[in-house]
Each structure stands twice: as structure tokens, then as C-alpha cells.
């Protein structure tokens, strides 16, 4: 158990809809990272927050957004969903910015029909 | 991040040591080598990391060559539960400090 909690575990929704994925980091971790893993692609970095502030952005679509709240939990919002957004979405957290391992949750499996 | 090269797949007999190689010939002086594994769509699991010295923990050993251009992850006594995709990642200390995953090595431990 990594200590990172993601909810829900599974989500099925229709094209055009909007969903919110939630992540609770390990106790004491200030950094939160979001990754996407599709069948035909590897783990792709989406976005990182540190202590409530956006720190780095990867290949995140404009239809996607995220935030980190004062209690350090994070949410990833996906809107105007398309079939191609079906994927595993992982959240990870780390203690500090440099040289601390990322610890991943077990992901949310999103299916867009 | 420096690019890493790993074999696509490897087999290992149960109970034997699994030695997973990784080339990172363009690694810079401040870049760490990290190893993660992913077991069948679960979240990636942290294994070990190092800068230039060899490292060992309860899961594995990491051997980094003196020129730091390659490394080997050693699972001393592989079990069937070690079957997974293993990722070697070179991580730079930048503002984001994220990990960039490549294709990894699919390790199959066979009875």
C-alpha cells in the first residue's frame, strides 16, 4: 500500500460528459502528480502541484484541469470527454521536490462510451 | 531527462536472480537513476534509486557503472509475483521533478 488513495476506482461515462477524479496524497507529502496511461501509450505525465501551486505541466489537454486544495488533496477534472480519453489515470505524491521518490496510487480506470 | 534504453522483454526462472539492464549514456552529473515496476495495470511501484553509488534495499540492488552510463537492477531471488514491467528512469532535478516513463522491460518469471 503506497498510502496514496484515488477515488473512484472505476468510472464509466458517456462522450461529452465531465468527471472529477480525486487523489489523497500520503500524509506529509506536498507534491501531487497526475499521469495518464492509455492502452496504446505509456505513462504520460499530465500535471504537478506543489503545496497548492501548479509546478509543472506535461501533455495535458485544455479540456482537462486540476487543482490542489489546502488540505493537499487534488482533483483532476476532465470535460467534454471523448472516446480517446478512456484510460487509467494515476496520481502520485512525494515528500519534497528534489530526489524524493514518487509514490503512486492504484489509479482510476475511466471508460468513455 | 536523459533517455534510457531497456530490453523489451526478459525471462527469469523462479528462485534465480533477475538482472535487468538499462543504458543511459547521456546521463548528466546531477541526474538520478530510478527504478519502478508496474504489475498488471496497478500503480507503478517504487523500487530503488541512486546517483553513483550502488544501492540495496529490501526489494532489490542497484548497480551503477563507474561512468554512470548504465545500470543494472538485481532482484536476488525472483518469484512469480515479480512478473511485471520494470521501468528505468533518469530523473533531473528541475522545477517539476516529474518522472518520464519509457517503455520498460517486461519481466516474466517462470516456474
Chain A interface residues (partner B, CB cutoff 8 A): 2, 4, 31, 33, 35, 42-43, 45, 48, 55-56, 58, 88, 90, 92, 94, 97-99, 101-107, 109
Half-sphere exposure for B47 (CA within 13 Å, toward CB): 26
pLDDT in tens, chain B (111 residues): 568 999 999 999 999 999 999 999 999 888 899 999 999 889 999 999 999 989 999 999 999 999 999 999 999 999 999 999 999 999 876 656 788 899 999 999 999
How would you classify residue A72: left for phi > 0, otherwise alpha for psi between -120 and 50, otherwise beta? Answer: left
Q: What residues are paired with B104 via a beta bridge?
A: none
Give me the count of residues in chain A. Answer: 113
Compute CA B69 distance to the chain's CA centroid, rounded to the nearest angstrom.
14
Give the β-pairing of A108-112 and A10-13: parallel
Amino acid at each position: 500500500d503506497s498510502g496514496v488513495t484515488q477515488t473512484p476506482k472505476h468510472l464509466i461515462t458517456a462522450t461529452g460528459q465531465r468527471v472529477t477524479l480525486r487523489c489523497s496524497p500520503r500524509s506529509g507529502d506536498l507534491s501531487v502528480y497526475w499521469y495518464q496511461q492509455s492502452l496504446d501509450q505509456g505513462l504520460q505525465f499530465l500535471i504537478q502541484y506543489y503545496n497548492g501551486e501548479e509546478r509543472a505541466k506535461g501533455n495535458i489537454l485544455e479540456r482537462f484541469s486540476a487543482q490542489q486544495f489546502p488540505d493537499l488533496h487534488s482533483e483532476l477534472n476532465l470535460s467534454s470527454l471523448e472516446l480517446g480519453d478512456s484510460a487509467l489515470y494515476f496520481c502520485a505524491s512525494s515528500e519534497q521536490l528534489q530526489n524524493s521518490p514518487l509514490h503512486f496510487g492504484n489509479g482510476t480506470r475511466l471508460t468513455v462510451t | 531527462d536523459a533517455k534510457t534504453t531497456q530490453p523489451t522483454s526478459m525471462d527469469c526462472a523462479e528462485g534465480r536472480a533477475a538482472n535487468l539492464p538499462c543504458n543511459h549514456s547521456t546521463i548528466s552529473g546531477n541526474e538520478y537513476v530510478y527504478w519502478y515496476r508496474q504489475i498488471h495495470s496497478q500503480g507503478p511501484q517504487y523500487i530503488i534509486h541512486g546517483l553513483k553509488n550502488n544501492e540495496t534495499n529490501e526489494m532489490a540492488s542497484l548497480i551503477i557503472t563507474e561512468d554512470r552510463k548504465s545500470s543494472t537492477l538485481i532482484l536476488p531471488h525472483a518469484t512469480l509475483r515479480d512478473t511485471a514491467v520494470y521501468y528505468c528512469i533518469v530523473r533531473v532535478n528541475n522545477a517539476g521533478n516529474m518522472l518520464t516513463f519509457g517503455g520498460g522491460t517486461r519481466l516474466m518469471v517462470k516456474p
